[in-house]
Amino acid sequence: MCRPRAGDAMSKITSKPRGADRTDGHRLANTCNPDASASPTRRDFLRALGAGLLIAVTAPQAFAQARPRGGRGRGGGGRGGGGGATTVAARVHIGADGIITVMTGKVECGQGARAELTQAAAEELRVPVEQVRLIMADTQLVPDDGGTFGSQSTPRTVPAIRTGCAAARGLLLAFAGGRWKVDPKTLQVRDGKIIGSAGGQLLSYADLASDKDAAKSLQAAIPADVTISPVGSWKVMGTSVSRPNGKDIVTGAHHYPSDISRPGMLYGRILRPRAYGAKLLSIDLAPAKAMKEVFAVQDGEFVAVAAPSAFLAGRALEAIAKTAKWSPAPPQVSSEQLYDHLRKHARGGIPKNPFADEIASAAKSLQQTYHVAYVQHCPLEPRAAVAQWSDGKLTVWTGTQVPFGVRSQLARELNVGNETVRVIVPDFGGGFGGKHSGECAVEAARLSRAAGKPVSLRWTRQEEFTWAYFRPAGVIEAQASLDKAGALTSWNFTNINSGGNSVQSPYRIPKNQSRFVGSDAPLRQGSYRALAVTANTFARECFMDEMANLAGRDPLEFRLAHLDAGRLRVVLEEAAAKFDWANRIKTKQPNVGIGLSCGTDKGSFVAACAQVRVDPDLKSFKVIRVCQAFECGKIVNPENLRRQVTGAVLMGLGPALREEMKFADGKILNPSFGDYEVPRLEDVPELDIHLMDRPDIASAGAGEIPIVAVAPAIANALFAAIGVRVRQMPIRLS
């Protein structure tokens, strides 16, 4: 890999302040011919990518801003990565065969980054998407783009890749200009080629990559700035490019982390405590060791087995688990006691309402409490890792949203240097904020080192439900007052334990205090798709509905009366219009009701209207229709966005209606899909999704925010149907 030269363009850029123009966050720093360097990395590149030109780009410091959300308390564990010193990293490789390889530290776990980043590259290179190969999340080859979380791939990594690829295009133009003795500005790249004005003049990326003189001259040619294509000229971005490896998905050819196989590989299982906090007093490994071809190891609390089949490993684990003696688990909070516990342990106490005078003198006021349960991501692929040691070097294939963070975690816990660890993240089976940590990778690596063979470790569903982390539960206290005209005069809103994102109300309220306070979390908690935004939006939008009712006003009209002109107002009006709110609110049917809500975070705006029908026994209800409007700036990939928004609404139905972790005495009581019911096909209501394109606004990420509006819209619809307020997620009548 090329190293920056002192005083070149890059060193100036690295000192750029945070928050600098996003599209300028990555500048072309250097170009290099891999033959010019003799580092091991260069050999890795040549082996992986073949001969050609590498273009290095500064890895931006800006990632330091994107810490894993909610990774606190006993949380995520994984580090964000990418927050360290700025480095030069190879971003684009132009092969002698014309194939252009683009490298990113981002991962693909269903959110569509592979398609989006490929099309970003193709757009700037002016090549068909098929000519771009995207290498994702192989720590030996790719730059650290930070973890894949916080809806950051679109606003940060897309510009990074576009900049690198625009630089590559600039090189090709300069190359052609020099060859033909014309001003490069008069030339254009089309379909990966430049055609000169004189007859027979044609140059491609392959020519650029294989021309030795060009490579030499390019080492000196370092453009300080590159321009990325304005939205109006987009040809590939803004279109619905399909997932590049989609065919491998439908044929079963794609290898997920749990599908990776290595020669001589064993399948591992880990001994788990019977309850959180129970300590292993003794265990006898002999029953496992007596089994043919079974390996067993104990290293303190770490007890594991490995065998040539997962079945045999399971048998061996059962055999030794029977011999294990455990200390009793310490007393622990149960899900029944959860909300009292969180309130009682609110750090610094629950803040007092500073607007007590306002409450006392208000025409009307109200105080309510909302609860949000612990839920789990339960990605369909549980945590999985394959670890292989070779000559003291460790390679781990695993499903994680934070590849460089997991590399550091492995190095730390295995007590080896970062440079000896390579983490490869194949496109994996779902993250949703739940795979920020590397515990499975660490276990596989420990077991593999002890066994002296590659080890595949795939957590069982019960392990995933018990030993992964949870979306934090929360208690939210809200109090507000109205004047005689029915306008909000004060607002006091406190989120206990579930996070601060979007705790601030988007509504215009003269006196407003909104804050988040931590608490003593009884479960290991961490990130989740829009975790705190979901909790805060649920409580705020339900409470807004209650205030509208107190004021005797229509829920839509009440919200609009407190909402300045802007993007949130636009999506709310759009959802209401498409749903035909004005007419539906007038139509009264027994046990049927409609509700709405809206929310925003991270540059995305969402509003949902829902209709529910309550069963005659008033004990259960069904969501029969959801209309959602969503806006995240310029749409990069319309079909992918639609999948994300639709999927988020449906995934959001789970915690809205049913999902809730039950626990007592240090045990999870419902660790299976039989007992913890996630949405199924039969739960899909009539859906009406409206994506609003804003070419004038930079694209924001869309993987999270479309999930936040559906739950409060349902709770509010339930009130409209039967006059019952359910102030908790999941929203249940019995």
Partner 1 sequence: MEIRIDFTVNGQRQTVRSDPDRPLLDLLREDLKLTGAKYGCGERECGACSVLLEGKRVFSCRTPASKAVGKTVVTIEGLASGQALHPMQEAFLEEGAFQCGYCTAGMIITAVGLLRENPKPTDAQIVEGMNGNLCRCCSYPKIHEAVRRCAGQGRVTP
Rounded least distance, CB 191 to partner 1, Å:
25
**CB under 8 A: which stretch of 29-37, 90-98, 243-251, 515-523 binds partner 1?**
243-251
Buried b (16+ CB within 10 A) or exposed e, 222-254: bbeebebbeeeeeebbbeebebbeeeeeeeeee
213 to 242, contacts with partner 1 by CB under 8 A?
242
**CB under 8 A: which stretch of 127-135, 245-253, 444-452, 714-722 binds partner 1?**
245-253
Backbone φ, ψ for residue 606 (5° rounding): -140, 145
CB nearer partner 1, residue 54 or residue 385: 385
Provide the 3-class DSSP secondary structure of residue 529. Answer: coil
Rounded least distance, CB 644 to partner 1, Å:
8
CA distance 658 to 231: 42
**CB under 8 A: which stretch of 185-193, 257-265, 329-337, 412-420 binds partner 1?**
257-265
CB nearer partner 1, residue 49 or residue 266: 266
Q: Is 622 in the site for partner 1 (CB under 8 A)?
A: no
- Kindly tell me which residue out of 6, 220, 681, 723 binds partner 1, with binding defined by CB under 8 A: 681
CB nearer partner 1, residue 310 or residue 698: 310
CA distance 94 to 204: 10
366 to 425, contacts with partner 1 by CB under 8 A?
377-382
Q: Is 263 in the site for partner 1 (CB under 8 A)?
A: no
Helix, strand, coil tally for the chain in percent (to 5):
35, 20, 45
- Residues in CB range of 99: below 8 A, 6 or more apart: 131, 133
- Kindly tell me which residue out of 678, 691, 711, 726 binds partner 1, with binding defined by CB under 8 A: 678
β-bridge mates for residue 270, sequence order: 304
| Residue with the two structure tokens 């090329």 | 2
CB nearer partner 1, residue 504 or residue 646: 646
Interface with partner 1: number of residues (CB under 8 A): 57
281 to 310, contacts with partner 1 by CB under 8 A?
309-310
Are residues 446 and 481 in contact, defined by beta-carbon separation less than 8 angstroms?
A: no
Beta strands 100-104; 132-136: pairing state: parallel
Rounded least distance, CB 578 to partner 1, Å:
17
Rounded least distance, CB 516 to partner 1, Å:
28
CB nearer partner 1, residue 267 or residue 516: 267
CA distance 527 to 375: 11
Rounded least distance, CB 571 to partner 1, Å:
21
Rounded least distance, CB 148 to partner 1, Å:
12
- Kindly tell me which residue out of 55, 56, 109, 203 binds partner 1, with binding defined by CB under 8 A: 109
Rounded least distance, CB 261 to partner 1, Å:
6
CA distance 477 to 369: 5
Which amino acid belongs to residue 174?
A: A
Q: Is 457 in the site for partner 1 (CB under 8 A)?
A: no
| Residue with the two structure tokens 């891999």 | 34
CA distance 501 to 494: 12
Query: Residue 197: is it exposed, middle or buried by C-beta count within 10 angstroms (0-12/13-18/19+)?
Result: exposed
DSSP codes, 671-715: -STTTS----GGG--EEEEEEE--TTS-----SSGGGSSHHHHHH
Q: Is 253 in the site for partner 1 (CB under 8 A)?
A: yes
CA distance 162 to 171: 14
Q: Is 669 in the site for partner 1 (CB under 8 A)?
A: no
Rounded least distance, CB 252 to partner 1, Å:
2
- Kindly tell me which residue out of 650, 668, 709, 713 binds partner 1, with binding defined by CB under 8 A: 650
- Kindly tell me which residue out of 138, 207, 358, 427 binds partner 1, with binding defined by CB under 8 A: 427
Q: Is 680 in the site for partner 1 (CB under 8 A)?
A: yes
- Kindly tell me which residue out of 95, 273, 405, 429 binds partner 1, with binding defined by CB under 8 A: 429
- Kindly tell me which residue out of 318, 615, 669, 673 binds partner 1, with binding defined by CB under 8 A: 673
312 to 331, contacts with partner 1 by CB under 8 A?
312
**CB under 8 A: which stretch of 20-28, 206-214, 540-548, 676-684 binds partner 1?**
676-684
Count, residues in the chain = 734
CA distance 272 to 276: 9
| Residue with the two structure tokens 């989006």 | 116
Q: Half-sphere exposure of 217 toward its Cβ, with a 13 Å CA cutoff?
A: 15
The CA distances from residue 547 to 490, 510, 556, 584, in Å, are 11, 15, 12, 21
Rounded least distance, CB 445 to partner 1, Å:
21
**CB under 8 A: which stretch of 158-166, 247-255, 515-523, 575-583 binds partner 1?**
247-255
**Token code pair at residue 35:** 């033959």
**CB under 8 A: which stretch of 163-171, 365-373, 619-627, 648-656 binds partner 1?**
648-656
Neighbours of 374 (CB within 10 A): 24
- Kindly tell me which residue out of 460, 525, 549, 699 binds partner 1, with binding defined by CB under 8 A: 460
The DSSP call for residue 549 is H
Rounded least distance, CB 377 to partner 1, Å:
8
H/E element, 9: helix 9-14
Query: Whose CA is closest to 657, among 679, 685, 687, 624?
Result: 679
Q: Is 165 in the site for partner 1 (CB under 8 A)?
A: no
- Kindly tell me which residue out of 67, 91, 458, 559 binds partner 1, with binding defined by CB under 8 A: 458
CA distance 129 to 640: 16
Q: Is 112 in the site for partner 1 (CB under 8 A)?
A: yes
CB nearer partner 1, residue 385 or residue 720: 385
Q: Is 651 in the site for partner 1 (CB under 8 A)?
A: yes
**CB under 8 A: which stretch of 205-213, 429-437, 475-483, 504-512 binds partner 1?**
429-437
Query: Whose CA is closest to 581, among 430, 713, 448, 464?
Result: 713
Q: Which positions lie near partner 1, rule CB under 8 A?
A: 109-112, 242-243, 246-247, 249-256, 258-259, 261, 267, 309-312, 377-382, 427-430, 432, 458, 460-461, 639, 643-644, 646-651, 672-674, 678-682, 684, 687
